[in-house]
Amino acid sequence: MLSAAEILFCHHHRNLDFPSQDWMDSSISSDGELLHEYAVLEALRVPGNKVVLSVNLQSVEHSADERSWAARWPSDSHPRDSAAVAEIRWFMATDSLDVDDLLKWAQSVSAAGRIAEALVVDDEFSVVTYRLTDASPQGSIEADGLQDSLNSLSGGIAMNGGRLYGADDWNIQQVGIPTDGGVFVDDLTCELIDSPSGLSVGGEILADLLSRGLHPRPGFKYGTRWRCYDKPLGEDHAPFLIVLPEQAPTDWAGACLASRLAAGVNKTWLLPTNDEGSWCYLAVTRPPADSRWSNPQRR
């Protein structure tokens, strides 16, 4: 009735003997990820969470997304009388980051009223928890007429891949960096100025961010393409960091690093992905302090 990871958990935490003397060696030989899965199970169950693996959910009259590894109940509830609060997937730190798949999973879990939790295990068997959400960043900056204003621009001095425009008549607050010589716009903004169609991926994302009432500024100091303000500059800090897809991390180790950096400066790290012609944004965030499931001890 128990999975190999659950047997190992019960051996360490419920004084259950292994089924046989060679059980550990044979189990690891047949499943090279057993110890990593056990680390995830231990991180979840020791704090008191009730965890039902997806293969057993039907027996307790519950269900989950087919991609989920397990469902989680908090310590003060039970599968027999309440719904799960979260669905779980776990990954190795070296596993590739499939943004499209993760976004669809997060959308499915959210639609069921649950939290999408990703637990990541490194080669030290250390576990860290992240929450995945389908973010929809919105700002309060008026975007009507912006594209017309950009298309009406003419001239400009080519400069470092972008252009420098005169500051005297510049009235577009969402784009452009004021300098001593005028207002500098980067290569992606030049795409929007020259033509609103036939844009690169970066140009499409920039256009989408602007249409959402956001003010994108360079995110170099945070390791991203943009930091985005949801209010006019000077009113508040930028709440979002957004990376270009081709510059995004390719594995969970990189995603964890980027998300931690964003959390350290009180920002949300967003990964753009195109869903049938529309740009969507996957947020990878650290949970509240009371929901950060990690190893209770190292072995």
Q: Under 8 Å CB-to-CB from 228, ≥6 apart: which residues?
A: 137, 139, 209, 214, 215, 216, 217, 238, 239, 240, 241, 242
For the chain, domains (ranges, CATH) are: 4-137+286-291 (3.40.1350.150), 146-282 (3.40.1350.10)
Instruction: Kindly provide the b/e burial profile for residues 100-121, where b requires at least 16 CB atoms within 10 angstroms of the residue's own CB.
Output: eebbbbbbbbeebebbbbbbbb
CA distance 158 to 149: 19
Token output for 38: 């056990």
Residue pointed to by tokens 């009507």? 144
Handedness of CA 260, 261, 265, 267 (dihedral sign): negative
Whole-model pTM above 0.85? yes
Q: What is the pLDDT of residue 196?
A: 73
Q: What pLDDT, on a 0 to 100 scale, did the predictor assign at position 198?
A: 84
Question: Is residue 80 a contact partner of residue 59, using CB atoms and an 8 Å limit?
Answer: no
CA–CA separation, 254 and 10 (whole Å)? 33
Question: What integer pLDDT is reported at residue 298 of this predicted model?
Answer: 59
Distance between CA atoms of 249 and 245, rounded to whole angstroms? 9
> 27 and 3 in contact (C-beta within 8 Å)?
no
> Could you list the pLDDT tens digit for every one of the 299 residues in the chain?
899 999 999 999 999 999 999 999 999 999 999 999 999 999 999 999 999 999 999 999 999 999 999 999 999 999 999 999 999 999 999 999 999 999 999 999 999 999 999 999 999 999 999 999 999 999 999 888 888 889 888 888 998 889 999 888 788 889 999 998 899 999 999 999 998 778 999 999 999 999 999 999 999 999 999 999 999 888 889 999 999 999 999 999 999 999 999 999 999 999 999 988 899 999 999 999 889 998 876 55
d(CA 250, CA 174): 30
